[in-house]
């Protein structure tokens, strides 16, 4: 199965060459294995290029599918050969229609990464239960999840497969308004009364 990572190496022209690692997402300490002496982490990064001369903002939307990939490494060759690590968060559920919605969160070390992973899984699982109970729609739950990732973890949102979809300046939505509107839509009829499980969503009594 593997723990997939995308490894992006910055070029002199400030674009990136992309390579794949099948196990690089298992632990972010993998970044310590990438150095000037071992740029391919001792063979753990596949030598063939996935893509060459890619602009930084296109890495996310064109190459970082948030469903299979777990970690993104940005490598800056130079005197210190710096490697920046980002945990990839898939902002959809298995039944989601927009499977390419994701976010990246910068993590400095294994401890920070473990905290982000634990928090994200717990939050996403709780929201899945809320959706299953009919309290929120899937769209409202994802909006809330996006807000939490950005506000709590400083994440960057993007949609894989779409052009110019990286959210550079994220404006948090009105959470209370979104929750209120969605709970009303899920639990009341057109008159504002509590709707029974078999009652249609719209009142067709006007005719």
Q: What is the pLDDT of residues 87-107, one digit of tens each?
A: 999 999 875 555 799 999 999
pLDDT of residue 163: 66
Closest CA to 102 of 140, 127, 65: 65
Q: How far is CA 194 from CA 133, 140, 191, in A?
A: 15, 20, 9
pLDDT of residue 1: 79
Residue segments in the chain with a per-residue pLDDT below the cut of 50: 169-207
pLDDT of residue 199: 38
pTM recorded for the entire structure: 0.79
Q: How far is CA 75 from CA 33, 85, 193, 203, in A?
A: 12, 9, 57, 58
pLDDT of residue 188: 37
pLDDT of residue 166: 67
Buried b (16+ CB within 10 A) or exposed e, 165-187: ebeeebeeeeeeebbeebeeebe
């Amino acid at each position: 199965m593997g723990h997939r990572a995308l490894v992006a190496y910055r070029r002199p022209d400030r674009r990136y060459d992309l390579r794949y690692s099948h196990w690089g997402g298992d632990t972010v300490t993998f970044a310590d294995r990438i150095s000037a002496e071992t740029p391919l982490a001792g063979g753990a990064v596949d030598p063939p290029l996935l893509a060459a001369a890619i602009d930084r903002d296109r890495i996310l939307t064109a190459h970082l599918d948030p469903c299979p990939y777990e970690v993104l490494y940005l490598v800056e060759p130079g005197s210190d050969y710096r490697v920046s690590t980002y945990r990839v968060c898939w902002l959809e559920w298995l039944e989601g229609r927009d499977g390419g919605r994701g976010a990246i969160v910068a993590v400095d070390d294994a401890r920070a990464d473990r905290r982000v992973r634990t928090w994200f899984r717990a939050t996403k699982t709780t929201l899945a239960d809320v959706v299953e109970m009919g309290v929120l729609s899937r769209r409202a739950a994802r909006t809330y999840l996006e807000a939490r990732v950005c506000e709590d973890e400083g994440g960057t949102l993007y949609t894989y497969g779409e052009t110019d979809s990286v959210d550079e300046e994220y404006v948090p939505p009105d959470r209370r308004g979104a929750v209120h509107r969605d709970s009303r839509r899920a639990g009341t009829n057109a008159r504002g009364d509590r709707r029974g499980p078999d009652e249609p969503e719209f009142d067709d009594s006007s005719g």
